[in-house]
Every structure is written in C-alpha cells, then in structure tokens.
C-alpha cells in the first residue's frame, strides 16, 4: 500500500472488554480486555487488562498485527496482558518491532510504587518505547499520540489522544473530574470515558455519569463512548445511563458492550452508523 498518497486512518474501534474496577475484574462480570484500534496496516491495543489476549483471539483478530501497546496506568485491569501483546508485536520476541507507550509508573521505577508494571526484558523488545507524562507526544506511523492529564490513585496516570490524518480520539481512563484534565482533549471527534458509577454516585478518583456529562459539555466531541464499568454501573444499566447522557448533552453516546465493533472512518459521515439511541 502506498501510504504516502493515502491518509492514515484509524478505521475501527473494538471493545475487548467493557468492564473495569476491582470487583468486575475479579468476577469477570464483563470482560476486561481494554480497547483495540484497527489502523490501516496494524492494530493498537489500549489498556489490555486480564483476559485481553484471550478475547482478542476469540474475536478472530490476528495478534501478530498488533504494533502498538498503550497503557494508561499501573493498575492490573489496565496492563496485565501487555507483555503478551509485546511478544506478539515482536513476533515472539524475535524482531524489534512496534511501539510501547506507558505512564511513568508502567515503564519506570517510581517513588512509592516500586517496580514498573512491564518487565525490563519486555521493555527492551519493541522498536520504540516511550514513557509519557501529560503533554508529551509521539508520532508513530503518522499517527500522533499525546498524553493527557488524569487524576487517579496512581499519580502518574495519563489519558491518551490519538490523531490520525482525519480524526481525533481522546481517551480518559480512571480519573477524577476536574476542568484542568480537559486541556489537550479539545476538538476531539470521539471521546472515550471510563465511567465507574451511574448518576451522581461519586467515588474518589473515578468518574460517575454526572462527571462524564460535565466532561462532554466542556469538550463538545462529535461522539461519546462510555466504558470500563463497575458493578453499580452494570446494574443501572449502562445503556440507560448513556441514553440519559445523550438527552442532556445532545451528543450521540454509546455504552460499550464486550466485542462491539464501531467504525471510526464512517462514524463522522452524514449517514450515522453509530446511531443506537
Ligand atoms: Zn480501571
Ligand atoms: Zn485505576
């Protein structure tokens, strides 16, 4: 493929797991595999928690196409399967290939958190390894990846913004709401929010739906995907909460389900393939 004359685009988003939090992860009430982005000639995996590689294979995806592994913070529901993906990206640890991005606590020795989540052995395998703090960015295969601020119990937690040559996607992992975290996520097409709890049920260092509504109003994205649900959210259920969000914000909002595949390139055309509510 001649990429010089072709726009590089993130084509599809696949939810490898819409569950989050300790309890949902322990009981696997929802899968906890994170997200996969299908790009022209490869796949990026974001926050691959427990079971991610299993679900990835079950969905018929080819793990050897993985070329990017992105990790927002050092909690097991976000990183446990990352080393397996690194081995896949590097063809069984045989070829220096791919991109590994992580918060400082994921890739470095940091005060109070001890060893990095990823082993030194695995850190040496990919072609490019970047430990990121808010504001840092890297361009890989013509996709720009920028670290956003998040406020979480892992103080090094980062959100991530992906800009291909046509669209932008901003992802916030577990974070408390604060206007300062919005910086860098402006003018995003798709906003992905990890929303632990429904309504106004606040839990420190996480978003509830009321917080998510505030974020959507401030960022004004074209589409919103909520995911990474805790137990209370699953009881709400998430679809009802997404519908309520959409009514209040006027912005198309989808609640993630395990295995759902959402087109990105087509999502912003007049024919709205995302319309679910
Ligand atoms: Zn989490
Ligand atoms: Zn967390």
Taking residues 250-259, what's their average pLDDT? 97
pLDDT score for 7: 74
Instruction: Provide the residue count of the chain.
Output: 277
Tell me the average pLDDT of the chain: 93
- CB-based neighbours (< 5 A) of ligand 2, an ion: 75, 174
Q: Cα of 153 to ligand 1 centre, how many Å?
A: 10
In this predicted structure, the answer to whether residue 107 has a pLDDT above a threshold of 90 is: yes
CA of 188 to the centre of ligand 2 (A): 23
DSSP string across 240-268? HHHHHHHHHH-SEEEE--TT-EEESGGGG
Give the pLDDT confidence score for residue 41 in this predicted structure: 81
Q: How far is the CA of 34 from the centre of ligand 1 (A)?
A: 10
Percentage of the chain with pLDDT > 90?
A: 87
Express each pLDDT in 153-209 by its tens digit.
Answer: 999 999 999 999 889 999 999 999 999 999 999 989 999 999 999 999 999 999 999
Which two structure tokens, joined as six digits, stand for 249?
């914000």
Distance 21 CA to ligand 2 centre (A): 7
- Give the domains, in start order, of the chain with CATH numbers: 10-265 (3.60.15.10)
Nearest to 178 by CA among 207, 153, 157: 207
Alpha-carbon gap, residue 8 to 223, rounded angstroms? 20
Residues 169-184: tens digit of each pLDDT: 999 999 999 999 999 9
Which residue, chain included where needed, has tokens 């045989």?
94
CA 154: distance to chain centroid? 16
Q: Tell me the pLDDT tens digit for each residue of 45-103.
A: 999 999 999 999 999 999 999 999 999 999 999 999 999 999 999 999 999 999 999 99
Helix (H, G, I), strand (E, B) or coil at 124: coil
Among 45-59, 109-123, 242-256, the range scoring the smallest mean pLDDT is: 109-123
Query: Count of CB atoms within 10 A of residue 273's CB?
Result: 12
- Residue 113 is classified by DSSP as T
Rounded to 5 degrees, φ, ψ at 158 are -125, 145
Proximal ligand: closest to the CA of 73: 2
Candidate from 39-43, 137-141, 249-253 with smallest mean pLDDT = 39-43
Structure tokens that stand for 239 in this block: 């679809």
pTM: 0.94
pLDDT band at 113 (very low <50, low <70, confident <90, very high): confident
Contacting residues for 246 by C-beta, under 8 A, at least 6 apart: 224, 252, 253, 277
If you compute the radius of gyration of the chain from its CA atoms, what whole number of angstroms results?
17
User: Which-ligand-closest: CA of 194?
Assistant: 1
The confidence score (pLDDT) of residue 252 equals: 95
Residues with CB under 5 A from ligand 1 (ion): 20, 77, 174
10 pLDDT higher than 80: yes
d(CA 158, CA 234): 25
Q: What's 56-110 look like in SS3?
A: HHHCCCCHHHEEEEEECCCCHHHHCCHHHHHHHHCCCCCCCCCEEEEEHHHHCCE
């Amino acid at each position: 493929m001649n990429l010089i004359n072709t726009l590089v685009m993130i084509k599809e988003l696949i939810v490898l797991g819409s569950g989050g939090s300790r309890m949902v992860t322990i009981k696997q009430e929802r899968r906890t595999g994170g997200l996969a982005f299908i790009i022209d000639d490869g796949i990026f995996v974001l926050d691959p928690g427990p079971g991610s590689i299993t679900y990835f294979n079950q969905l018929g995806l080819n793990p050897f196409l993985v070329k990017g592994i992105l990790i927002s913070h050092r909690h097991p529901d976000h990183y446990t399967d990352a080393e397996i993906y690194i081995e896949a990206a590097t063809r069984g640890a045989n070829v220096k290939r791919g991109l590994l991005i992580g918060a400082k606590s994921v890739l470095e020795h940091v005060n109070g958190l001890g060893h990095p989540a990823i082993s030194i052995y695995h850190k040496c395998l990919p072609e490019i390894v970047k430990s990121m703090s808010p504001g840092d960015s890297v361009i890989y295969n013509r996709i720009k990846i920028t670290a956003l601020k998040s406020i979480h119990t892992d103080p090094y937690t980062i959100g991530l913004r992906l800009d291909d040559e046509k669209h932008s996607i901003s992802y916030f992992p577990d974070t408390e709401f604060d206007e300062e975290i919005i910086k860098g996520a402006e003018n995003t097409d798709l906003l992905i929010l990890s929303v632990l709890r429904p309504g106004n049920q606040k839990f420190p260092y996480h978003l509830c739906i009321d917080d998510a509504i505030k974020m959507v109003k401030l960022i004004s994205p074209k589409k919103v995907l909520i995911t990474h649900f805790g137990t209370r959210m699953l009881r709400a259920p998430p679809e009802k909460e997404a519908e309520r969000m959409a009514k209040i914000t006027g912005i198309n909002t989808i609640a993630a389900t395990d295995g759902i595949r959402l087109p990105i390139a087509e999502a912003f055309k007049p024919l709205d393939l995302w319309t679910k509510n």
